[in-house]
Structure 1
């Protein structure tokens, strides 16, 4: 099956569902999501950008002015709206999938893909950017380790897991497309 046929088969099997990327900050959800969307000929939506648009301020400002619980509630509402507007490739914030209601919405309206990354990779990537509110609380490596301990067991509930690593983004996109094909297309052909 050609790339175009594979992409068409995945889009067809998705119907109105979204491909929802989950994982810790720095795992590549936005960068890989944009390329995956292009490959599948679907729109790309970055939930964090949509939250900022809805709030009229940056996530960093939302955190500092209102706190994390306020941000998480806004995130939950924006994601519920976005999940009803598929099909699309949707990159979520690192904490979004931790919300039970959001996970249920993703299960109903999407196919979740966990971009699993190891600690050294995440530390290297997030160290380059100073706009991560959760990292302001302490040493990035320690904060990331704590987040991994809390979040990885929940991320593991995703439909598909793909290892994020230092390879060209197109390699990871190809792996996601292959796994989506196996999960969506092959299983729907078996069901016929």
Structure 2
């Protein structure tokens, strides 16, 4: 058991962090927070516009500030953006105040899930498959390093994934008010 006050989902875009996270939060009685959606609420601007105006570096700075704020709380399921783990400060905060689950998914599954999604700045141009494969090589080891648990969501429906992950968490995660 790894006691932590929050549950955190990390993984690539299209892994199901938001859709699985919402169901899982309801099942576990946690407040659901999607980092990208919260950032849009706070700034009043959609993520693609933040990328356009401030670049990826500006977006990442805002994301880091938001994660610092969120990780001070408890009783939350936090669905991070795919690149949130790139900053060491974020990884440290997520590990200190969260039980971190790496939602794993194949690039083929990502392509299928993201086929109609036009809101991903990192996929706006070029070959999506090549970009997703490149991101997987870059970020996969980081997701693994920060995670307390890896969960393969490839090919699972949202209800089944949430049910299976919920059962695993009942065995592996102990909710606490203070991180141990």
TM-score, normalised on structure 2? 0.91
Matches within 5 A, 1:37-76: 37-76=25-64
CA distance in 2, matches of 1:94, 1:180: 21
Moved more, 166-175 or 156-165: 166-175
Following superposition, the deviation at residue 184 of structure 1 comes to 2.6
CA distance in 2, matches of 1:156, 1:86: 23
**Where in structure 1 are there 5+ consecutive unaligned residues?**
1-9
User: Bigger relative contact order, structure 1 or 2, given CA contacts below 8 A and separation 6+?
Assistant: 2
Partners of 1:19 and 1:111 within 8 A in 2: yes
CA distance in 2, matches of 1:167, 1:117: 10
CA distance in 2, matches of 1:156, 1:97: 10
Aligned residue pair count: 174
Extract structure 1 runs of 4+ deviating beyond 6 A. Answer: none
Return the match for 2:123 from 125, 135, 140.
135
Matches within 5 A, 1:5-154: 17-154=5-142
Asked if residue 183 in structure 1 is aligned to residue 162 in structure 2, the reply is no
- Residue 168 of structure 1 is matched in structure 2 by 157
TM-score, normalised on structure 1? 0.86
* RMSD between superposed Cα atoms in Å: 1.7
Which is higher, the Rg of structure 1 or of structure 2?
Answer: 1
CA distance in 1, matches of 2:74, 2:35: 13
